[in-house]
Amino acid sequence: MISPKSLLTAAIIASLVAIGPLSTDMYLPAFPMLMQSFDADINQVQNTLSIFLIGFALAQLIYGPLSDRFGRKPVLMGGLLLFALSSLAIVFTDSISTLSALRLLQAIGGSAGPVLGRAMVRDIYGPTESARLLSYISTAMAVAPAAAPIIGGYLLVWFGWHSIFLFLAVYGAIGLLLLGIRIPETAPPGSHHVMSVSSLLKNYGILLKHPTWRWYTLTCSFVFAGLFSFLSGSSFIIIEFLGYKEEQFGLFFALVVIGFMLGTQIAGRLVRRIGINRLLGYGSLIAATGGISMLILALAEVHHVAAVVVPHMVYMVGVGIVMPQSMAGALAPFPHMAGAASALLGFIQMSFAAGVGVLVGHYHDGSPLTMSFSIALMGTLTLISFRRLQRINRQNEDDDQDGEEEPASAA
């Protein structure tokens, strides 16, 4: 075993956190080929992505309590084993329905990586130092969604779509091996406890009734759904409609990720200076601007890759600003149940995005119009949600001021 605070431990945990973007983004260039291989329509192929996201969302609600009861390491090892086996099984599947079912299992297993990886960082470094390390891991993980379509595109061209899932199976197996022989249990001794279903449901009920939590969560969910709209439709637009090659798709996707990285850097530099909510407003406006610009270009029938990639780069700058701020705002009032708040936020965010992705696939007409409309709508709803959140925060501030003034007037 190695030291929990070693650089190698951090690198292994970072690689486990990367399972999510690798599993969603690596096979995006294969969408058109999957349609041909399985004689499936676009909606069926796109559903394999939405189903993955649903499984990923559901698993978040159970991994936290399981790891609190049995420890991080055994639960994470079980998840990685399921991920590796289901990824390997996909290599041998011969129907789109079987692929969808296996993608669900793959998601349930793979969700353990990011969920418990972050929990392990919290166990090792504590509340203050863990924030610093998680920021480094998040920056490093921005490389994963940029690199995944490029790797997937070349694997697709050289070896076929099966090789993408074989790569993921090997990736999961290596992660399982390294975790088993190199990293000790990180949960503090004596910390294992059982949380009842009723107490979990009670906490979730408290969160859903809290107005600021709801609107922070909706803001985060809307902006993420716009990103997922791009994930659902971009490969068909760039590869089939615009005629670019599979390996080129990954390069265009990397440009989009650069927009996200720029947004996170802007947020990191400005949040202390101007505050979460003001920064959230700027990010919402940027996302809406990017989405509406793409829709205008689609309506004008400007059929060029720049008309898709450049507006979405702008949108992704907004995503990079909005998502961290909305998550932080949602969790801030609930230090005593941050795990439940984070899990429910993630579940709502991913479930909503999966539903939007299904609609993008269902209404896709071969042109960029459906995808552009969805991204523009999600950007606009992000801005509307922020405005609503702003009114609630102002109302809360006025109530606090009234409460402070009442004793003085009574005297």
Consecutive H or E run containing 26: none
Per-residue confidence band for 101, with pLDDT thresholds at 50, 70 and 90: very high
pLDDT digits (tens, 9 = 90+) for 11-49: 788 788 888 888 888 988 888 899 999 998 888 888 898
Rounded to whole angstroms, the Cα distance separating 319 from 284 reads: 8
Banded model confidence at residue 338, pLDDT cuts 50, 70, 90:
low
Integer Cα distance of 137 and 407 in angstroms: 48
Average pLDDT of the segment spanning 233-240: 87
CATH superfamily, region 198-391:
MFS general substrate transporter like domains (1.20.1250.20)
At 249-277, the pLDDT tens digits run 888 888 888 898 888 888 878 877 888 88
pLDDT at 143 exceeding the cut of 90 = no
Q: Please tell me the class of the 1-183 domain.
A: mainly alpha
- 198-391 shares the fold of 1-183: yes
Mean pLDDT of 384-405: 75
317 band by pLDDT with thresholds 50, 70 and 90: very high
Give the residue extent of every domain in the chain. Answer: 1-183, 198-391
Distances from the Cα of 310 to the Cαs of 11, 139, 253, in angstroms?
32, 22, 11
Residues 266-293, mean pLDDT to the nearest whole number: 89
pLDDT at 410: 34
- Please tell me which of 125-134, 378-387, 392-401 the model is most confident about, judged by mean pLDDT: 378-387
Contact 224, 349 (CB under 8 A): yes
- What is the structure's pLDDT at 115? 75
Calpha distance 261→246 (Å, rounded)? 23
DSSP string, 256-299: HHHHHHHHHHHHHHHHHHH-HHHHHHHHHHHHHHHHHHHHHHHH
Residue 399 has pLDDT above 70, yes or no: no
C-alpha–C-alpha distance, residues 375 and 226, integer Å: 4
Amino acid 393: pLDDT: 82
pTM of the predicted model as reported, rounded to 2 decimal places:
0.76
